[in-house]
Amino acid sequence: MGELWSPIRLTLELASITTVLLMIVGTPIAWWLAWSSWRGKELVATIIALPLVLPPTVLGFYLLIALGPNGLGGWFGDLAGVRTFAFTFEGLVFGSVIYSLPFAVQPIRNSFEAMGKRPLEVAATLRASPWDRFISVAVPLALPGLLTGAVLGFAHTVGEFGVILMIGGNIPGETKVLSIAIYDFVETLRWREAHILSAGMLAFSFAVILSVSLLARRARNRVPA
């Protein structure tokens, strides 16, 4: 059973940490993309959206170089006392955040844009500071978008395969996540284990898509003032 549990636990850990980081990094990016009047912002949006169309192996290849001893990973690794971030859990987290960023940023940006500047202006005329406006007005009004972003980011990380294969390899307990484990089980003709994990993923994906569409419906039903 350990063989089954280890990849599940690892996957959930990776997806949870990635989702938290996605929210911390993605929300300010989405905010900036929604409100900035700088003309070049769509260029930034395009770069963030690249993982949507790029083959995961291409992204994984560049990430591997970036995380390796000759890239940023080596430089940061020196500080942390390791040679490289490739083939580590930390490396996977970094790669997952990059890979899933567009899935989180897009719905959050959309919900900020749908909310519009008006509620923030109203709050400002009622003495709310910028941070106060964000917490008391923007977050509640954009909540469906924020939740959708989090759910999609989480789900996308769980389903990741190509990128992980490129930068994480297949180290049990460190980088061997669900999708890799399933691949492994099939390769070694262990159909029973492959069945159990695949069925679990199927149910999970179903639940995710259902919850996202329910969230989206709730957002639409909100009556504007």
When asked if residue 135 is in the footprint of another protein (CB under 8 A), the reply is no
Q: Which residue's structure tokens are 């980081």?
A: 21
Contact between 53 and another protein by CB under 8 A: the answer reads no
The answer to the question of residue 121 lying near another protein (CB under 8 A) is: yes
**Structure token digits, residue 225:** 């003032």
Q: How many residues bind another protein (CB under 8 A)?
A: 22
Spatial separation of the C-alpha atoms in residues 153 and 102, rounded to whole Å: 8
The amino acid occupying position 19 is: T
218 in contact with another protein (CB under 8 A) = no
Asked if 146 and 34 touch (Cβ cutoff 8 Å), the reply is no
In whole angstroms, how close is the CB of 114 to another protein at the nearest point?
12
- Binding status of residue 141 toward another protein by CB under 8 A: yes
Query: Which of residues 124 and 186 has its CB atom nearest to another protein in the complex?
Result: 124
Near another protein by CB under 8 A: residue from 38, 140, 210, 217: 140
**Which of residues 25, 124, 186, 216 is near another protein by CB under 8 A?**
124
Only one of the segments 73-81, 104-112, 130-138, 205-213 lies at the binding site for another protein (rule: CB under 8 A); that segment is: 130-138
Q: Which of 125, 187, 189, 220 binds another protein (CB under 8 A)?
A: 125
42 near another protein (CB under 8 A) = no
* Smallest distance, another protein to C-beta of residue 216, A: 17
DSSP 9-66: HHHHHHHHHHHHHHHHHHHHHHHHHHH---TTHHHHHHHHHGGGTS-HHHHHHHHHHH
Stretch that binds another protein, among 47-55, 87-95, 113-121, 190-198 (CB under 8 A): 113-121
220 binds another protein (CB under 8 A): no
Nearer to another protein, 127 or 220 (CB): 127
Q: Which of 137, 164, 197, 212 is close enough to bind another protein by CB under 8 A?
A: 137
DSSP 223: P
| Tokens encoding 189 | 């003709």
Please list the alpha-helical segments (H only) found in the chain. Answer: 2-35, 41-49, 56-67, 72-80, 89-115, 118-125, 130-133, 139-141, 143-158, 162-167, 178-187, 191-221
Q: Which of 97, 91, 193, 29 is nearest to 180 (CA)?
A: 193
Q: Which residues bind another protein (CB under 8 A)?
A: 118-119, 121-130, 132-133, 136-137, 140-141, 222-225
